[in-house]
Structure 1
Amino acid sequence: MGPRAVIGVMTPGPNVNVENEMMDMRPRGVINAIDRYYVPNQKIDANADWETIMAHVTANLDASVRRLNECLIDHLILGMSSESFMGGEKGSFALQEHLEKLSGVGVTMGAQSAEAAFKAVGARKIALVTPYYPVIDENAVSYFKARGFEVVHVEGLKCRSIIHVGAQTHEPLIEAVHKCNEYNPDAIIQLGTNLHFAQVADEAERWIKKPVFSVGVAIYWHALRKLGINDQRDGFGSLLAKY
Protein backbone atom coordinates (compact mmCIF):
# COMPACT_ATOMS: atom_id res chain seq x y z
CA MET A 1 0.00 0.00 0.00
CA GLY A 2 2.86 2.41 0.73
CA PRO A 3 5.74 1.79 -1.67
CA ARG A 4 6.49 5.52 -1.93
CA ALA A 5 6.31 6.46 1.76
CA VAL A 6 4.78 5.71 5.14
CA ILE A 7 4.07 9.00 6.92
CA GLY A 8 3.37 8.98 10.64
CA VAL A 9 0.94 11.71 11.68
CA MET A 10 0.58 12.74 15.32
CA THR A 11 -2.53 14.72 16.22
CA PRO A 12 -4.46 15.53 19.43
CA GLY A 13 -7.36 13.29 20.40
CA PRO A 14 -10.01 16.03 19.96
CA ASN A 15 -8.70 17.02 16.50
CA VAL A 16 -11.33 15.95 13.94
CA ASN A 17 -9.78 17.60 10.88
CA VAL A 18 -6.17 16.49 10.43
CA GLU A 19 -6.76 12.80 9.75
CA ASN A 20 -9.53 13.35 7.22
CA GLU A 21 -7.84 16.28 5.47
CA MET A 22 -4.49 14.53 5.10
CA MET A 23 -6.17 11.35 3.89
CA ASP A 24 -7.88 13.41 1.18
CA MET A 25 -4.48 14.81 0.10
CA ARG A 26 -2.69 11.44 0.18
CA PRO A 27 -1.13 10.49 -3.17
CA ARG A 28 -1.31 6.96 -4.53
CA GLY A 29 1.41 4.80 -2.97
CA VAL A 30 1.61 6.80 0.30
CA ILE A 31 0.30 5.58 3.66
CA ASN A 32 -0.72 7.94 6.45
CA ALA A 33 -0.37 6.21 9.82
CA ILE A 34 -2.32 8.25 12.40
CA ASP A 35 -1.73 8.39 16.16
CA ARG A 36 -3.90 10.40 18.53
CA TYR A 37 -2.21 11.54 21.73
CA TYR A 38 -4.11 12.60 24.83
CA VAL A 39 -5.13 16.24 25.14
CA PRO A 40 -8.20 17.14 27.21
CA ASN A 41 -11.09 18.75 25.38
CA GLN A 42 -11.39 21.31 28.17
CA LYS A 43 -13.02 24.71 28.04
CA ILE A 44 -10.75 27.56 27.03
CA ASP A 45 -11.50 30.93 28.57
CA ALA A 46 -8.01 32.38 29.09
CA ASN A 47 -4.33 32.03 28.26
CA ALA A 48 -3.83 29.67 31.22
CA ASP A 49 -6.20 27.12 29.67
CA TRP A 50 -4.10 26.95 26.49
CA GLU A 51 -1.01 26.57 28.66
CA THR A 52 -2.62 23.52 30.32
CA ILE A 53 -3.37 22.01 26.92
CA MET A 54 0.21 22.56 25.79
CA ALA A 55 1.51 20.88 28.96
CA HIS A 56 -0.49 17.75 28.05
CA VAL A 57 0.94 17.85 24.53
CA THR A 58 4.50 18.01 25.85
CA ALA A 59 3.82 15.10 28.21
CA ASN A 60 2.36 12.83 25.52
CA LEU A 61 4.31 13.46 22.32
CA ASP A 62 7.15 11.02 22.97
CA ALA A 63 4.80 8.06 23.50
CA SER A 64 3.03 8.96 20.25
CA VAL A 65 6.34 8.87 18.37
CA ARG A 66 7.17 5.45 19.83
CA ARG A 67 3.82 4.02 18.72
CA LEU A 68 4.27 5.35 15.19
CA ASN A 69 7.80 3.95 15.01
CA GLU A 70 6.21 0.50 15.16
CA CYS A 71 4.82 1.22 11.65
CA LEU A 72 8.38 1.67 10.32
CA ILE A 73 7.57 5.21 9.22
CA ASP A 74 9.67 7.06 6.65
CA HIS A 75 8.68 10.52 7.87
CA LEU A 76 6.90 12.08 10.84
CA ILE A 77 4.32 14.90 10.88
CA LEU A 78 3.32 16.87 13.95
CA GLY A 79 -0.30 17.61 13.13
CA MET A 80 -0.75 20.34 15.75
CA SER A 81 0.62 23.69 14.68
CA SER A 82 0.45 25.48 18.06
CA GLU A 83 3.10 23.24 19.64
CA SER A 84 5.48 23.97 16.76
CA PHE A 85 5.52 27.68 17.65
CA MET A 86 6.00 27.40 21.40
CA GLY A 87 9.20 29.10 22.52
CA GLY A 88 9.45 31.00 19.23
CA GLU A 89 12.28 30.16 16.84
CA LYS A 90 14.53 28.52 19.45
CA GLY A 91 11.78 26.39 20.97
CA SER A 92 10.47 25.32 17.57
CA PHE A 93 13.77 24.03 16.21
CA ALA A 94 14.60 22.38 19.54
CA LEU A 95 11.33 20.43 19.32
CA GLN A 96 12.03 19.42 15.74
CA GLU A 97 15.51 18.20 16.68
CA HIS A 98 14.09 16.23 19.63
CA LEU A 99 11.43 14.54 17.49
CA GLU A 100 13.93 13.70 14.77
CA LYS A 101 16.30 12.13 17.27
CA LEU A 102 13.52 10.14 18.91
CA SER A 103 11.89 8.95 15.68
CA GLY A 104 15.02 8.48 13.58
CA VAL A 105 13.33 10.08 10.55
CA GLY A 106 12.74 13.54 9.14
CA VAL A 107 10.06 15.63 10.88
CA THR A 108 7.66 18.20 9.45
CA MET A 109 5.92 20.74 11.68
CA GLY A 110 3.64 23.72 11.17
CA ALA A 111 6.10 26.54 11.83
CA GLN A 112 8.72 25.47 9.30
CA SER A 113 6.05 24.45 6.78
CA ALA A 114 4.41 27.88 6.96
CA GLU A 115 7.81 29.47 6.48
CA ALA A 116 8.48 27.28 3.43
CA ALA A 117 5.07 28.18 1.97
CA PHE A 118 5.75 31.91 2.32
CA LYS A 119 9.19 31.51 0.76
CA ALA A 120 7.71 29.56 -2.15
CA VAL A 121 5.59 32.57 -3.14
CA GLY A 122 8.08 35.27 -2.13
CA ALA A 123 5.93 36.67 0.70
CA ARG A 124 7.48 38.87 3.41
CA LYS A 125 4.47 40.76 4.82
CA ILE A 126 2.14 38.15 6.30
CA ALA A 127 -1.15 37.91 8.20
CA LEU A 128 -2.36 35.08 10.44
CA VAL A 129 -5.82 33.62 11.07
CA THR A 130 -5.77 31.55 14.27
CA PRO A 131 -8.23 29.86 16.65
CA TYR A 132 -5.98 30.74 19.57
CA TYR A 133 -5.72 33.00 22.56
CA PRO A 134 -2.84 35.55 22.66
CA VAL A 135 -0.43 33.18 24.48
CA ILE A 136 -0.17 31.05 21.32
CA ASP A 137 -0.44 33.93 18.87
CA GLU A 138 2.50 35.68 20.55
CA ASN A 139 4.72 32.62 20.09
CA ALA A 140 3.76 32.37 16.41
CA VAL A 141 4.49 36.06 15.82
CA SER A 142 7.83 35.67 17.61
CA TYR A 143 8.77 32.76 15.33
CA PHE A 144 7.90 34.56 12.11
CA LYS A 145 9.64 37.77 13.13
CA ALA A 146 12.80 35.84 14.01
CA ARG A 147 12.67 34.23 10.57
CA GLY A 148 12.55 37.62 8.82
CA PHE A 149 8.82 38.12 8.19
CA GLU A 150 6.72 41.18 8.99
CA VAL A 151 3.46 40.14 10.67
CA VAL A 152 0.98 42.86 9.75
CA HIS A 153 -2.09 41.38 11.48
CA VAL A 154 -3.26 38.45 13.61
CA GLU A 155 -6.95 37.58 13.56
CA GLY A 156 -7.38 35.36 16.63
CA LEU A 157 -10.78 33.67 16.94
CA LYS A 158 -10.35 32.69 20.61
CA CYS A 159 -12.15 29.36 20.24
CA ARG A 160 -13.48 27.89 23.49
CA SER A 161 -12.13 24.32 23.11
CA ILE A 162 -10.32 22.15 20.58
CA ILE A 163 -13.65 20.69 19.48
CA HIS A 164 -14.99 24.24 19.14
CA VAL A 165 -12.10 24.89 16.75
CA GLY A 166 -13.24 21.97 14.60
CA ALA A 167 -16.86 23.17 14.73
CA GLN A 168 -16.15 26.53 13.10
CA THR A 169 -18.22 27.11 9.97
CA HIS A 170 -16.82 28.74 6.86
CA GLU A 171 -18.55 32.08 7.47
CA PRO A 172 -16.30 33.33 10.34
CA LEU A 173 -13.24 32.00 8.52
CA ILE A 174 -14.15 33.92 5.36
CA GLU A 175 -14.70 37.05 7.46
CA ALA A 176 -11.30 36.54 9.11
CA VAL A 177 -9.59 36.35 5.71
CA HIS A 178 -11.18 39.62 4.65
CA LYS A 179 -10.12 41.30 7.91
CA CYS A 180 -6.53 40.13 7.37
CA ASN A 181 -6.56 41.37 3.79
CA GLU A 182 -7.38 44.90 4.98
CA TYR A 183 -3.77 45.10 6.23
CA ASN A 184 -2.41 44.40 2.72
CA PRO A 185 -0.26 41.32 3.42
CA ASP A 186 1.62 39.52 0.68
CA ALA A 187 0.05 36.26 1.87
CA ILE A 188 -2.24 34.91 4.60
CA ILE A 189 -1.96 31.67 6.53
CA GLN A 190 -4.42 30.00 8.87
CA LEU A 191 -2.93 28.28 11.91
CA GLY A 192 -4.62 25.66 14.05
CA THR A 193 -4.83 22.31 12.25
CA ASN A 194 -8.35 21.58 13.53
CA LEU A 195 -9.84 24.52 11.61
CA HIS A 196 -11.52 23.21 8.45
CA PHE A 197 -9.90 25.84 6.25
CA ALA A 198 -8.41 24.13 3.19
CA GLN A 199 -11.39 24.77 0.92
CA VAL A 200 -11.79 28.32 2.26
CA ALA A 201 -8.15 28.98 1.37
CA ASP A 202 -8.63 27.54 -2.12
CA GLU A 203 -11.60 29.83 -2.76
CA ALA A 204 -10.14 32.88 -1.01
CA GLU A 205 -7.14 32.98 -3.34
CA ARG A 206 -9.56 33.73 -6.18
CA TRP A 207 -11.35 36.48 -4.23
CA ILE A 208 -8.35 38.43 -3.02
CA LYS A 209 -5.86 37.50 -5.74
CA LYS A 210 -3.03 36.51 -3.38
CA PRO A 211 -1.80 33.35 -1.62
CA VAL A 212 -3.96 32.06 1.23
CA PHE A 213 -2.66 28.94 2.96
CA SER A 214 -4.11 26.33 5.28
CA VAL A 215 -1.44 25.18 7.72
CA GLY A 216 -2.59 21.56 7.45
CA VAL A 217 -2.12 21.68 3.70
CA ALA A 218 1.25 23.42 4.12
CA ILE A 219 2.41 20.70 6.52
CA TYR A 220 1.40 17.83 4.25
CA TRP A 221 2.79 19.59 1.15
CA HIS A 222 6.11 20.22 2.91
CA ALA A 223 6.35 16.60 4.08
CA LEU A 224 5.71 15.26 0.58
CA ARG A 225 8.27 17.58 -0.98
CA LYS A 226 10.88 16.60 1.63
CA LEU A 227 10.26 12.99 0.64
CA GLY A 228 10.81 13.85 -3.03
CA ILE A 229 7.13 13.33 -3.85
CA ASN A 230 6.10 16.14 -6.19
CA ASP A 231 2.51 15.15 -6.98
CA GLN A 232 0.19 18.13 -7.40
CA ARG A 233 -3.48 18.25 -6.49
CA ASP A 234 -6.31 20.73 -7.04
CA GLY A 235 -8.89 21.72 -4.43
CA PHE A 236 -6.52 22.55 -1.56
CA GLY A 237 -5.15 25.87 -2.77
CA SER A 238 -2.27 26.95 -4.99
CA LEU A 239 0.43 25.51 -2.71
CA LEU A 240 -0.42 21.87 -3.40
CA ALA A 241 -1.58 22.58 -6.95
CA LYS A 242 1.43 24.52 -8.24
CA TYR A 243 4.48 24.22 -5.97
Structure 2
Amino acid sequence: MKPPGVGVHFTRVRMDTECTVANLARMEQALADAVATLMPGRDDLDVICYSCTSGSVVIGEERVIEELARARPGVKTTTLLTGVVAALRALAVRRIVVGTAYTDDINQHEREYLERQGFEVLGIEGLGLLTDQEMNRVTPEFLAAFAQEIDHPEADAIFLSCGALRSIDAIERVEWASGKPMVASNQASFWHCLRLAGIEDRLTGFGQLLREC
Protein backbone atom coordinates (compact mmCIF):
# COMPACT_ATOMS: atom_id res chain seq x y z
CA MET A 1 0.00 0.00 0.00
CA LYS A 2 2.96 2.32 0.64
CA PRO A 3 4.42 3.91 -2.51
CA PRO A 4 8.19 3.58 -3.04
CA GLY A 5 10.16 6.20 -1.15
CA VAL A 6 7.49 6.85 1.48
CA GLY A 7 8.38 6.24 5.13
CA VAL A 8 5.67 5.52 7.70
CA HIS A 9 6.45 5.87 11.41
CA PHE A 10 4.15 4.98 14.31
CA THR A 11 3.84 5.68 18.01
CA ARG A 12 1.13 4.95 20.58
CA VAL A 13 -0.99 7.45 22.50
CA ARG A 14 -1.60 6.36 26.08
CA MET A 15 -5.21 5.25 26.63
CA ASP A 16 -7.14 3.28 29.22
CA THR A 17 -8.18 -0.20 28.12
CA GLU A 18 -11.83 0.38 27.22
CA CYS A 19 -13.01 2.60 24.38
CA THR A 20 -15.47 4.84 26.23
CA VAL A 21 -16.29 8.52 25.84
CA ALA A 22 -14.51 9.34 29.12
CA ASN A 23 -11.36 7.39 28.24
CA LEU A 24 -11.21 8.85 24.74
CA ALA A 25 -11.49 12.38 26.14
CA ARG A 26 -8.53 11.72 28.46
CA MET A 27 -6.30 10.89 25.47
CA GLU A 28 -6.04 14.63 24.81
CA GLN A 29 -3.60 14.94 27.71
CA ALA A 30 -1.24 12.39 26.16
CA LEU A 31 -1.17 13.62 22.55
CA ALA A 32 1.79 16.01 22.72
CA ASP A 33 3.99 13.53 24.62
CA ALA A 34 3.24 10.83 22.05
CA VAL A 35 4.07 13.10 19.12
CA ALA A 36 7.42 13.96 20.73
CA THR A 37 8.51 10.33 20.28
CA LEU A 38 8.06 10.46 16.48
CA MET A 39 11.45 10.81 14.78
CA PRO A 40 12.91 12.99 17.58
CA GLY A 41 15.62 15.41 16.52
CA ARG A 42 14.78 15.16 12.81
CA ASP A 43 13.28 17.85 10.62
CA ASP A 44 12.14 15.73 7.65
CA LEU A 45 8.74 14.71 8.98
CA ASP A 46 6.08 15.89 6.51
CA VAL A 47 2.73 14.92 8.04
CA ILE A 48 1.45 13.78 11.43
CA CYS A 49 -1.92 12.04 11.72
CA TYR A 50 -3.78 11.17 14.91
CA SER A 51 -5.17 7.79 13.88
CA CYS A 52 -8.22 7.35 16.09
CA THR A 53 -11.62 8.11 14.61
CA SER A 54 -13.57 8.01 17.86
CA GLY A 55 -10.91 9.98 19.71
CA SER A 56 -11.02 12.67 17.03
CA VAL A 57 -14.79 12.90 17.44
CA VAL A 58 -14.80 13.04 21.24
CA ILE A 59 -11.78 15.32 21.79
CA GLY A 60 -12.63 17.49 18.81
CA GLU A 61 -10.82 17.72 15.51
CA GLU A 62 -9.51 21.26 16.05
CA ARG A 63 -8.26 20.49 19.56
CA VAL A 64 -6.37 17.42 18.35
CA ILE A 65 -4.71 19.37 15.56
CA GLU A 66 -3.73 22.11 18.02
CA GLU A 67 -1.99 19.55 20.24
CA LEU A 68 -0.18 17.92 17.31
CA ALA A 69 1.01 21.30 16.05
CA ARG A 70 2.13 22.35 19.53
CA ALA A 71 4.33 19.27 19.77
CA ARG A 72 5.80 19.56 16.25
CA PRO A 73 5.50 23.12 14.90
CA GLY A 74 5.78 23.45 11.14
CA VAL A 75 4.66 19.90 10.34
CA LYS A 76 1.35 19.37 8.54
CA THR A 77 -1.19 17.82 10.88
CA THR A 78 -4.41 15.91 10.39
CA THR A 79 -6.66 13.40 12.09
CA LEU A 80 -8.15 10.17 10.93
CA LEU A 81 -11.55 11.82 10.92
CA THR A 82 -10.26 14.75 8.86
CA GLY A 83 -9.04 12.26 6.29
CA VAL A 84 -12.41 10.51 6.19
CA VAL A 85 -14.27 13.75 5.52
CA ALA A 86 -11.75 14.73 2.83
CA ALA A 87 -12.12 11.28 1.25
CA LEU A 88 -15.92 11.41 1.19
CA ARG A 89 -15.77 14.85 -0.41
CA ALA A 90 -13.20 13.71 -2.97
CA LEU A 91 -15.56 10.90 -3.92
CA ALA A 92 -18.38 13.46 -4.25
CA VAL A 93 -20.76 11.57 -1.98
CA ARG A 94 -23.39 13.05 0.32
CA ARG A 95 -25.57 10.22 1.61
CA ILE A 96 -23.73 7.57 3.60
CA VAL A 97 -24.21 4.57 5.84
CA VAL A 98 -21.75 4.08 8.68
CA GLY A 99 -20.58 0.93 10.42
CA THR A 100 -18.39 1.26 13.51
CA ALA A 101 -16.68 -0.79 16.18
CA TYR A 102 -18.23 1.40 18.87
CA THR A 103 -21.05 1.61 21.37
CA ASP A 104 -24.15 3.72 20.72
CA ASP A 105 -23.01 6.78 22.71
CA ILE A 106 -19.85 7.13 20.62
CA ASN A 107 -21.85 6.48 17.46
CA GLN A 108 -24.12 9.40 18.32
CA HIS A 109 -21.11 11.72 18.59
CA GLU A 110 -19.90 10.50 15.20
CA ARG A 111 -23.30 10.88 13.55
CA GLU A 112 -23.60 14.47 14.78
CA TYR A 113 -20.10 15.31 13.56
CA LEU A 114 -20.69 13.89 10.08
CA GLU A 115 -24.02 15.68 9.79
CA ARG A 116 -22.34 18.97 10.73
CA GLN A 117 -19.94 18.35 7.85
CA GLY A 118 -22.89 18.21 5.46
CA PHE A 119 -23.38 14.45 5.05
CA GLU A 120 -26.73 12.72 5.34
CA VAL A 121 -26.26 9.68 7.57
CA LEU A 122 -28.89 7.18 6.46
CA GLY A 123 -27.90 4.75 9.18
CA ILE A 124 -25.15 4.07 11.71
CA GLU A 125 -24.59 0.72 13.39
CA GLY A 126 -21.87 -0.30 15.85
CA LEU A 127 -20.42 -3.63 16.90
CA GLY A 128 -20.38 -2.57 20.56
CA LEU A 129 -16.70 -3.44 21.07
CA LEU A 130 -14.75 -1.90 23.94
CA THR A 131 -11.10 -2.90 23.54
CA ASP A 132 -8.47 -2.78 20.80
CA GLN A 133 -8.00 -6.52 21.20
CA GLU A 134 -11.64 -7.17 20.39
CA MET A 135 -11.53 -4.78 17.44
CA ASN A 136 -8.29 -6.25 16.02
CA ARG A 137 -9.78 -9.75 16.04
CA VAL A 138 -12.69 -8.91 13.75
CA THR A 139 -11.91 -10.53 10.40
CA PRO A 140 -12.03 -8.72 7.05
CA GLU A 141 -14.56 -11.34 5.94
CA PHE A 142 -16.91 -10.40 8.77
CA LEU A 143 -16.41 -6.69 8.03
CA ALA A 144 -17.24 -7.20 4.35
CA ALA A 145 -20.49 -8.92 5.32
CA PHE A 146 -21.21 -6.24 7.94
CA ALA A 147 -20.70 -3.45 5.39
CA GLN A 148 -23.10 -5.07 2.93
CA GLU A 149 -25.63 -5.70 5.70
CA ILE A 150 -25.80 -2.01 6.70
CA ASP A 151 -25.89 -0.74 3.11
CA HIS A 152 -28.91 1.29 2.02
CA PRO A 153 -30.26 1.57 -1.54
CA GLU A 154 -30.06 5.37 -1.40
CA ALA A 155 -26.54 5.54 0.07
CA ASP A 156 -23.80 6.95 -2.14
CA ALA A 157 -21.04 5.28 -0.12
CA ILE A 158 -20.34 2.95 2.80
CA PHE A 159 -18.04 4.10 5.61
CA LEU A 160 -16.51 1.64 8.10
CA SER A 161 -15.23 3.64 11.04
CA CYS A 162 -12.41 2.66 13.41
CA GLY A 163 -8.64 2.59 12.98
CA ALA A 164 -8.44 -0.68 14.92
CA LEU A 165 -10.60 -2.61 12.44
CA ARG A 166 -8.95 -4.48 9.56
CA SER A 167 -11.30 -2.86 7.08
CA ILE A 168 -8.81 -2.22 4.29
CA ASP A 169 -8.83 -5.89 3.29
CA ALA A 170 -12.63 -5.75 2.90
CA ILE A 171 -12.82 -2.72 0.61
CA GLU A 172 -12.46 -4.31 -2.81
CA ARG A 173 -15.03 -7.05 -2.22
CA VAL A 174 -17.55 -4.57 -0.74
CA GLU A 175 -17.17 -2.18 -3.67
CA TRP A 176 -17.55 -5.03 -6.15
CA ALA A 177 -20.67 -6.35 -4.40
CA SER A 178 -22.35 -2.98 -3.78
CA GLY A 179 -21.32 -1.03 -6.86
CA LYS A 180 -20.46 1.98 -4.70
CA PRO A 181 -17.32 3.29 -2.99
CA MET A 182 -16.36 2.16 0.47
CA VAL A 183 -14.28 4.35 2.76
CA ALA A 184 -12.39 2.83 5.69
CA SER A 185 -10.73 4.85 8.43
CA ASN A 186 -7.12 3.76 7.83
CA GLN A 187 -7.49 3.84 4.04
CA ALA A 188 -8.82 7.41 4.16
CA SER A 189 -6.21 8.70 6.59
CA PHE A 190 -3.35 7.14 4.61
CA TRP A 191 -4.71 8.66 1.38
CA HIS A 192 -5.04 12.05 3.06
CA CYS A 193 -1.50 11.93 4.47
CA LEU A 194 -0.11 11.09 1.03
CA ARG A 195 -1.93 14.00 -0.57
CA LEU A 196 -0.87 16.43 2.19
CA ALA A 197 2.72 15.33 1.59
CA GLY A 198 2.33 16.11 -2.12
CA ILE A 199 2.33 12.46 -3.19
CA GLU A 200 -0.24 11.89 -5.93
CA ASP A 201 0.37 8.20 -6.70
CA ARG A 202 -2.74 6.22 -7.66
CA LEU A 203 -2.76 2.80 -5.99
CA THR A 204 -4.78 -0.27 -6.97
CA GLY A 205 -6.23 -2.89 -4.67
CA PHE A 206 -7.45 -0.52 -1.96
CA GLY A 207 -10.67 0.86 -3.36
CA GLN A 208 -11.87 3.67 -5.57
CA LEU A 209 -10.44 6.37 -3.29
CA LEU A 210 -6.78 5.43 -3.73
CA ARG A 211 -7.30 4.34 -7.32
CA GLU A 212 -9.01 7.48 -8.63
CA CYS A 213 -8.79 10.43 -6.20
User: In structure 1, how many angstroms separate the alpha carbons of the residues matched to 2:14 and 2:206?
Assistant: 28
Are the equivalent residues in 1 in contact too, given 2:25–2:58 (CA < 8 A)?
A: no
For 1:63-142, list aligned pairs within 5 A.
63-68=33-38, 70=40, 71-72=42-43, 73-86=45-58, 91-104=60-73, 105-142=75-112
User: In structure 1, how many angstroms separate the alpha carbons of the residues matched to 2:34 and 2:53?
Assistant: 16
User: In structure 2, how many angstroms separate the alpha carbons of the residues matched to 1:100 and 1:202?
Assistant: 35
Report the RMSD for the aligned CA atoms in angstroms: 1.7
Gaps of 5+ in 1: 1-24, 43-48
Are the equivalent residues in 2 in contact too, given 1:199–1:237 (CA < 8 A)?
A: no
Deviations 1:112-148 (A, max 9, x none): 1111111111111111110001222111111111111
Are the equivalent residues in 2 in contact too, given 1:174–1:204 (CA < 8 A)?
A: yes
Structure (1 or 2) with the greater strand fraction: 1
Question: Percent identity among equivalent residues?
Answer: 27
Tell me the secondary structure at the aligned position of residue 201 of structure 1: helix
Runs of 4+ more than 6 Å apart: none
User: In structure 1, how many angstroms separate the alpha carbons of the residues matched to 2:72 and 2:57?
Assistant: 20
Say if 2:20 is the partner of 1:32. Answer: no
The alpha-carbon deviation at position 198 of structure 1 amounts to: 0.6
Q: Which residue of 2 aligns with 1:150?
A: 120
For 1:42-61, list aligned pairs within 5 A.
42=18, 50-61=20-31
Q: Which residue of 2 aligns with 1:184?
A: 154
Tell me the secondary structure at the aligned position of residue 9 of structure 2: strand
Are the equivalent residues in 1 in contact too, given 2:203–2:210 (CA < 8 A)?
A: yes
Q: Which residue of 1 aligns with 2:183?
A: 213
Tell me the secondary structure at the aligned position of residue 158 of structure 1: coil
Deviations 1:135-164 (A, max 9, x none): 221111111111111111112011141110
Tell me the secondary structure at the aligned position of residue 158 of structure 2: strand
